[in-house]
Structure 1
Amino acid sequence: MSNFNFRTFFNILISILPTGIVFILTENVIWLEYTLISCSLYVVFHKYHWSVTKIILQWILILSLFSVIYFLSILPIYFALFTSFLAAISIGLSEFNQNLRTLSSFIIIPTFYCAFSFSEYTHSSQILTEFYKIILFSPCSLIGMFLILTVNGVIPFQKKRIDLSLDFSKNKEPFLIIFTSIFVAIMLGNYFIFKYNLPGGQWVLWSIVSVANNNVTDTKAKLMHRVHGVFLGSVIGFILCLIAMYFVVNIPILGYVIALLTPATLLIKPYVLAFTSRCLFITLSGYLIDHSFFKSFERISDVLLGGILGLIITIIVYYIYSFFKKKTIIS
């Protein structure tokens, strides 16, 4: 992904514009969750220079997986198994082609995030009724991409295609390590989410997917990036909220705008700055919309839980594989 610039930011604004319009018309904050799908489509489109057909296919895949997870939310054990396998196989396959990591992440993350968010807003007795509404408004997450192509034209994005083919001749060990690590970690993450009814459970799974890697060093580094980001972003956001309270600043619409723009932080480089900005935006929007500081504390605890689970499981799995590998060599 190229460095963040004004043109990229402009395109992001275009991509989330339809979602913003839907929110204004319905006055329902839940539709802002679709901005993550819009931004994910743009990130993948920008990186891989995809055709319109592939953009639509990615969108359909996200919605399809989201639909399955959404309905499985009332069946915790099946939900846990499906999300664990889906994340593990998606991220694991990227070990056979590193170019796939971005694509895998930006299919899994919006799928998990939206499924959790929508299911939290829905009572189990209304799951089918609400699903119809969700599908009805879902095109707003795709229309923005067509607006981008309309405004910019297709030609600026016609660059060399990136190879996404899988090379199964590569060493299988990294795949086995990351597949096992993510599967076990997400199973445990789901256990804590459902056992203790954790709000914002999508952040736990997001952290696991982001942190887990095929080696301990990279996993530790990614965890530290997220820890620094969540604490720094939340603390700065908390301080700004206190300042806003002191000056009696009450501008809910500003909170909605910040919430709308939050997924755009996915495009910021480096990663620690992007994550810091994301946590800052979430803290600010939470206060401005409903005068709540809880989102920042939830964010911290969920990021820590997911990150620590990802690290611990990766360490255990890595050393188990290393042990058996050495044992095999010796024998």
Structure 2
Amino acid sequence: MGDSTDDGPRPLVTDPFDAVPALAPLRDAAWDGDWEAVRAFFEGIAADEATGVEKISLAAALLAGVDRTEWFLEKAVKDRPAGPLPRTLLAERYVQLGWRARGRGPAESLSWDAARQCHDWLCKAELLLIEVCAEEPAYVPAWTTRLSTARGLGLGQSEARRRYDRLAEHHPHHVRAQSELLRQLSPEWGGSWEAAHGFAEECASAAPDGSHAGVLIAEAHLEHWAALEGAEAEEYLRSTTVRDELLRAARVSVLHPDHRRDWRWTDSHSAFALALSLGGHAGDAAPHFAALGDTVSESIWRNVPDWRTRFIEYRTAAAQATP
């Protein structure tokens, strides 16, 4: 887990396609605008009944982050109007474009133009997803994306929960969907910290040991920390109660003997490593940094100023704290 080579510090691996080599064919197909290769990749995932649904949702989100994919996905939808996959993937891309147009600031800081562009993209996505869910009510990837559109379009807590409940009828431990609803339940989107933390605990407790659901505990605490300022933020993650909740969640999820590394591994270990490091618990963060090595999830760490430098500093502190 060293921080450097003879030629200097090793670059951090932040691209999820590089972190999971099995995803490389999907990125290549996206760069080539090759719908048939994309379709074949997702059909291969779907054949795995045990993990297929989770992998489809994760791969769909990653594909949506590849620039200009809407060009060939729109053609795929036009050529295959009855298929749920191309419409869901295109909707994911539209959602990505909508959130990108919105930016990362609070709602009150948005310009009129940014808010309008975000709304327009999310409406386009929602129309596609309404069709898919009406035709195939058990198609979990579409319901997952509809949790994001519900939040962005301001449809409220009840509607978001309704969508999640429809999804959970078919896949009760879908971590990406749970993560989406967790955001909706925070105060920023009309919920409360009591609701958000309660939902995270509910999901983690109900999931099988060794699943990724425990990371929802870390995500809830990181969301809460990010909403605080000054000394209040600094002290929040140092709380013994928060530390104990994080350690318990890690033990039943990514540090459990039944856990098997899969496509979510970078996000999960990154969340635990960050939350424990910010709380000053370097030794407790060590197993997560050991798992990560030079790999890190930017989406988890980017709320920290100069996060790349901080990651390396925290990783070094964790290694030094390990007996």
Q: TM-score range by the shorter chain?
A: under 0.3
Return the TM-score normalized by structure 2: 0.28
The answer to which structure has the higher helix fraction is: 1
**Higher RCO structure (Cα 8 Å, ≥6 apart):** 1
Return the TM-score normalized by structure 1: 0.27
